[in-house]
Chains A and B, each alone.
Chain A
């Protein structure tokens, strides 16, 4: 009895294991830096400079973390209903298209009371939500596995962005000369996400606040609300959930809609907060990284926040490291991959031991 309870992972273990996994992955990362022949000190100072060396660096890292957190929260929500949403990338793209299209509509920019921002943001949520909900609908109607459908819908969305910015009939900026770029016009200033500091020297947007609020809301909804209970019931046993009167099909669609809406919101945060115009490849892998954040969180919103911050700072640091110290930024992705493998492996090991 005692021997067994000693092996049971407690709450502190479930936080400790991911931490150790991250440290181990970092250690391997350091070895790899040395192996590339770069100076370790130089690389590390460049990394920390890029990640948190200035208020600008911190702002950029936080903006990245916001995107990861929103996608990760959506992943955890749908995972509670037993669904795996791997379509964050496409949902971001749909959100970006919708935010751009609505923000560029004549009249939107002149709306009062912040509506000039709120309406494009809500449009982005709706577009991402419909993209996710479509996968839910396919699952309910035709039994299509949502892993496949959300992934394939992502590819469609990514190419929709391409089409939108290539065609003047859609979102491509007006052809004024032969050198017009395949991208949309810049959205009006009044539709951009406000900066928390009000200064471009530290361009962290209100998106960070929105993400934190949504994380708190999601945590409460998942752990305390009847909606969270129903989601969990559907995930644990859909047949028994149906018997208990829960509309399983509606919950399935709704769960993926919400995950998609959060992805769409992430897209709006990227577009209206940082990029300000739609370009090809604008989602640039954030959806897939957000998916990884969601996976690593193992169902916990606190885990999403931790993962989002980690990945946000890693990415920013990595980019500076490449520019300043000549260490390829791909190395950061290697470290990210190692973190995933280490945490997943540790989790597998922890789950097995008590049995």
Chain B
């Protein structure tokens, strides 16, 4: 039913204890919801959520990716409608028609992705859609200056948004919200993209906004921020509120435990289906770890994006043949950039990397493939396949030439090899000529693996979020395949934001935070808590 997580197990009665948001908590609350659930198809994104936000407070929502934080925010903001339960604003029933309605009722939201027009000035962005008839820029600029002063949001009104830093753009978004004088302000992971001092300033702003009597909801992964500003913290796991604390600073350990589901889950059970693929014995694994070249060596690799922001900072890591190395981290800490570099779709701005004894720092995707590097990218629709091609074309998309004579493709030969791989990798399909995009996520992923694992001379496999969105059976199959590759001597780098998955599959774990590898731990459940804390930015 659910994917990679077990909601029932994740919320044992003991965890919520006396701290569960009871009905009385919502008395006098600015906003409250009771028993709210949200179902997408057969997937419960949220189940039985009761929570209250009070004026003058910063209420942090903590949880892993996919725990339901964004769904919860979007529901309050009117993007989604609850499938069950009720919501109240200022004690009156609240059921917004959509974001516009939510805004009119005093609820504003700063999204992860900005909704600014880069070509316009700050002031023009502020008055966009909010003004009729005469455009009074001076009045807006004055009002903006007032808000900037009050909340510590330094901004120049007549600069073009496209020239602003990410932090400044976010300030524009916040000012845009504050202009409406909201009674509830939601910030959905506002710090994911910010630099340390920008984060500090934002936290200061949150406190000031709350001090003016507004209820502030802050979604975050980062413990430092919570300690700094939260009056109250609620932890979401697998769509449920598992705990709430009104003394965050003292409760950090307990909150981290609740976030990663520490007490409830033993290794293997954490990901239903994983137990179906028996873990390789240490002995056979040691045998597979040949003494020769490393499968992968990344040496001091850095990467700066188009705006000059450093996304990877001096990353050094090695993967030996026959070994699975996990990279644990909250999304957006440099994993995508590392994946793009290893796939040959981006070049490091510093450092070098090797597979076996071939240096691939400046290599093309073709050369990287030829050197025995397989890639299961985090976004298969963007990087691994074209949805409108057939399954057979997708499985063989990097080796069509092997099936061609004088430049003409021998369709029968293509079908023959594709059908062989479809059998071998247990891809459930009506045939090799169905549209790739029409397959289920699990079968799509198996098709990608079928291609990447059957390249001649495979020595290294990057598996980035390989089980995201897959059902239980497919998860087990995908890990079975990855382990087989390992047994045959390939080294594997597993990037995942699901810590349970990494602990269940990898041999050792590297923690990535803000583009740097901050620590290494054995993949032992005993280290889970420490890893979780480092993922959230705590120093090792």
Number of residues from A at the complex interface, CB < 8 A: 19
CB distance from A8 to the nearest CB of B (A): 14
Question: Are B408 and A243 interface neighbours, CB within 8 A?
Answer: no
Task: Identify B365's interface contact among A226, A227, A243, CB under 8 A.
Answer: A243
A positions within 8 Å CB-CB of B? 220, 224-227, 229-230, 232-233, 236-237, 239-245, 247
Question: Are A239 and B383 interface neighbours, CB within 8 A?
Answer: yes
What residue of chain A has the Cβ atom nearest to residue B403's Cβ? Answer: A226
Interface status of B344 (Cβ within 8 A of chain A): yes
The CA of A243 and the CA of B385, in the complex, are separated in Å by 9
Count, A-B residue pairs, CB within 8 A: 62
Interface status of B345 (Cβ within 8 A of chain A): yes
B-chain residues with CB within 8 Å of residue A224 when the two chains form the complex: 408-409, 411
The CA of A304 and the CA of B104, in the complex, are separated in Å by 54
CB distance from B414 to the nearest CB of A (A): 10
Near A by CB (< 8 A), chain B positions 365-414 give 365-366, 369, 375, 377, 382-389, 393, 397-398, 400-401, 404, 407-409, 411
Question: Are A240 and B404 interface neighbours, CB within 8 A?
Answer: no
Given known A-B contacts A240-B383, A243-B365, A245-B365, A225 and B409 have beta carbons under 8 A apart:
yes
What residue of chain B has the Cβ atom nearest to residue A248's Cβ? Answer: B365
Q: B343-365 interface mask toward A, CB cutoff 8 Å, 1 = contact, 0 = none? A: 11100000000000000000011
Task: Identify B343's interface contact among A227, A243, A247, CB under 8 A.
Answer: A243
Question: Are B364 and A229 interface neighbours, CB within 8 A?
Answer: no
Question: Are B400 and A226 interface neighbours, CB within 8 A?
Answer: yes
Which interface class (under 10, 10 to 19, 20 to 34, 35 or more) fits B?
A: 20 to 34
CB distance from B292 to the nearest CB of A (A): 26
B-chain residues with CB within 8 Å of residue A225 when the two chains form the complex: 404, 407-409
Q: Chain A interface secondary structure, helix, strand, loop or mixed?
A: helix
Interface centre among A220, A226, A243 (most CB of B within 10 A): A243
Given known A-B contacts A224-B408, A225-B407, A243 and B386 have beta carbons under 8 A apart:
no
What residue of chain A has the Cβ atom nearest to residue B379's Cβ? Answer: A239
Question: Are B364 and A240 interface neighbours, CB within 8 A?
Answer: no
A-chain residues with CB within 8 Å of residue B364 when the two chains form the complex: 245, 247
A-chain residues with CB within 8 Å of residue B389 when the two chains form the complex: 232-233, 236
A-chain residues with CB within 8 Å of residue B344 when the two chains form the complex: 242-243
A-chain residues with CB within 8 Å of residue B377 when the two chains form the complex: 243
The CA of A236 and the CA of B387, in the complex, are separated in Å by 8
CB distance from B114 to the nearest CB of A (A): 22
B-chain residues with CB within 8 Å of residue A236 when the two chains form the complex: 386-389
Task: Identify A244's interface contact among B397, B404, B411, CB under 8 A.
Answer: B397
- Which 7 A-B pairs rank lowest in CB-CB distance, beginning with the nearest? A245-B366, A236-B386, A237-B386, A244-B398, A244-B397, A226-B404, A225-B407
B-chain residues with CB within 8 Å of residue A242 when the two chains form the complex: 344-345, 365
The CA of A275 and the CA of B433, in the complex, are separated in Å by 49
The CA of A326 and the CA of B385, in the complex, are separated in Å by 57
Given known A-B contacts A224-B408, A224-B409, A225-B407, A240 and B386 have beta carbons under 8 A apart:
yes
A-chain residues with CB within 8 Å of residue B383 when the two chains form the complex: 239-240, 243
Question: Are B407 and A226 interface neighbours, CB within 8 A?
Answer: yes
The CA of A224 and the CA of B365, in the complex, are separated in Å by 24
What residue of chain A has the Cβ atom nearest to residue B380's Cβ? Answer: A240
A-chain residues with CB within 8 Å of residue B404 when the two chains form the complex: 225-226
The CA of A220 and the CA of B382, in the complex, are separated in Å by 28
